[in-house]
Structure 1
Amino acid sequence: MSTAVDRVYIARLAGTPVFDPIGDAVGRVRDVVVVIRRTGGNPPTAVGLVVEVPGRRRVFMPLTRVTSISPGQVICTGVVNLRRFKARPGESLAIAELFERSVRLKEDKSTAYIEDIAIEQDRTKTWRLTKLYVRKGERRKGVLGFSRRGEAVVVDVDQVTGLSIRDKNQGASLVIEAFEDHKPADLAAALMEMSPSRSAEIAAALDDERLADVLEEMPEEDQIVLLSTLRSERAADVLEAMEPDDAADLLGDLPAPQAAALLELMEPEEARNVEQLLGYEDDSAGGLMTTEPVIVGPETTVATCLALVRKQELPPALASMVFVVRPPLETPTGRYIGLVHIQKLLREPPHDSIGNFVDPAIAPLHPGEHLSVVARRMAAYDILALPVVNDDHRLVGAISIDDVLDHLLPSDWREHMDEEDEAPTPAKGGARG
């Protein structure tokens, strides 16, 4: 393989566009996959790139498929696998797992922290880790990770020790900053690519709201693994930040004593909402619903309702309508009156009362209705959310389309959401290796 540059620094490579031989864009480099062997004396090697393709899906591209690396572009050929990347045993992600790791310099026995890594090809065309850009000095703990002050030097990889040893104090700021503008599902996918220990470090550095959003986008098994890495008090705080139905689903998958202990640590009102949902079957309307839709009284103005659905934390499906009830407005509410579509309110005078615009055609669901009934009703009404009322006709929650899809699709759908694209395609699909 010929390259336009002999030495490539990984931090500069991140974000570089990847093109096929005829100039069509394939994606962007997001990380480099490396193998560091603790025994045998073999130098660390780089085996592939993690490339973000359209749809923000991250796939593995072997470096054997890369024909050229130059400033501003990477050229690839052949076929790669479009299955979502997940690190294999023995593999590490350079940016996500090695940057900010501490090493000890052999020359003066000082501690330094990796800020960049250089890779080069040897005579066998294998990409080796050859240089480390490190900064000496102590680190200070910050909100997202660690900050350093000290001399920056470039050293040979064989002049340090500890490269293969995970640093329990390794900062997480680089990873968190890289996903600042991404959706929670993107960060969830990235965490599932990392080693369990590294994903636990990132989770520990996220704030409760962000971690809650990320957990909601993970398969159940991964949710449980990540939640188990948190202190019980922190786990309870994160569960409080989750949507009640998602928190109930997660707690329902935990051993009963552990779930009970976490509920005890949650705020009473939040715990009460989740416990209510735990009493329903998973595939029933009660088990699917959330207890926190937008609920208003009939005298509420149109302007107030529009302000309520503007809240950033409100899921889009639930923001498409408001539910009108008699007081009290907390679930279970007073008598349910009906729902009003936000699209309808956009055409009405802002000072009119919401009770004037209830849609009489939308019948509510009962908590015991089966998932199949919920799905058919939602399809028949062509609607994004449906109310759920009890035998006393009090609103107890609402079901959104995303919760229905989560239960209709296979449990591992997030891992195979793009399987239809996995057939080998020149420069854009194929087998890993």
Structure 2
Amino acid sequence: MGTMITLNIRGENAMVKAQMKHQGHRLFHSVEASMNGSLAVGNNEMVRQQFWKFKEEIPDADIFVFDFKKAIAFATDLDVGEKGVDTLIKDKAAIKAIARMLENGEEPAEPFEEWINGIPYLTIFYPILNEAQCFHCHGSSRKVLGGAMIRVSAQKAFATIRAARNRNIVIGAVGLGIIIMLIYASFQRLVNRQIQVLLGATRRIGEGDLTCRCEVKGRNEMSHICQQINDMSDNLRNMFKDILSGSETMASSSAELSAISQKMSLGAEQTSEKSSAVATAAEEMSANMTSVASAMEQTSTNVGMMATAAEQMTATIHEIAQNSETARSITDEAVSQAQRASAKIEELGKAANEIGMVTETITEISEQTNLLALNANIEAARAEVNQNVAQSSAVSAEIAKDISDVNQAAAEMSNSSSQINLSAQKLSKLADQLKEMVKRFSV
């Protein structure tokens, strides 16, 4: 709003300056037209009277005409005389603008604002160019003959601008107040009410009421804050539930700790009693340690005796080692003899096996002889039929006797062979055991 008022004031100032410049331009052209007729005939007095008449009709404006040397030739102010135009101007920028205008003949772009005796004035400069109608007096060598300065009072215009500015300020202030009231009402309706709700909810939470809830409406920032407060209330409620459960657990634990402390107190008393017993036992142990020390001294003496005996045993072991070497050579010879005996016993076993085979053969022969005896008996029976009974009976009796002798001899031989074979096997086992014992002894 302030920016709009400032821009409006600047726009009005610029518009007033443009209008006054335009009016000054028209005024200059009308004055210039009236001057040209009088100056063409050389009547400067007529020009002065026109300027005085102009001052009477327009008292708020002054016109100054000066030559290229800045000397004033005609003016509406009678007190000026023939002063230089520089003496009437306090603005250095305006003085520089006059010098540029007299040099290049171009009109300054903007009017200059001055304050004289507390009254604002707008000063406008116009160049007076050397035209063909002026050549008869001034010649044609110069481009610019001089210039004109029109100073117009801007007091009324600025008063009008100030009135308009004040009016705009009042209107802007009223509008700004209305806008502020509308913003306040909107803020009160959209923000303050929800803030009051939030404050009530936080106050209830602070008092311990964790069941309160904020109503969430819309998706603005206040709604997000309400949702966050609801979440905080839920989290606090859950946390206090956990704390309550933990306090109950702590209460039960404290009861258990109390019971444990009582047990520990009782155990401490028992420990104290046992410590006394341990102290008594320690005293007895000290006495025993003294006895043990005496026994250790006796043991040290015995160890010395054992060391002496060990030295003697070392010498004895050395002699045994020498005798063992001699026994080793004898044992090797015994092993050799045992191996030869074992070989002979194996040969004996083989011979016994062969005798057994011969015995089996004899047994088979005796069985066959028994068959022959049977056949002879059969033949004897037939001989009885054929009346040769006597011969056949005698022959049959001899054959039966011979067969009985053979069978008996075979049985005795078989028994002897079995005993020889059994004895050979026993000798073989004894020889193997002797060989093993000799090997162990030799190792």
TM-score greater than 0.5 by the shorter chain: no
What's the TM-score, normalizing by structure 2?
A: 0.19
What's the TM-score, normalizing by structure 1?
A: 0.19
Q: With a CA cutoff of 8 Å and minimum separation of 6, indicate the structure with the bigger relative contact order.
A: 1
Larger Rg: 2
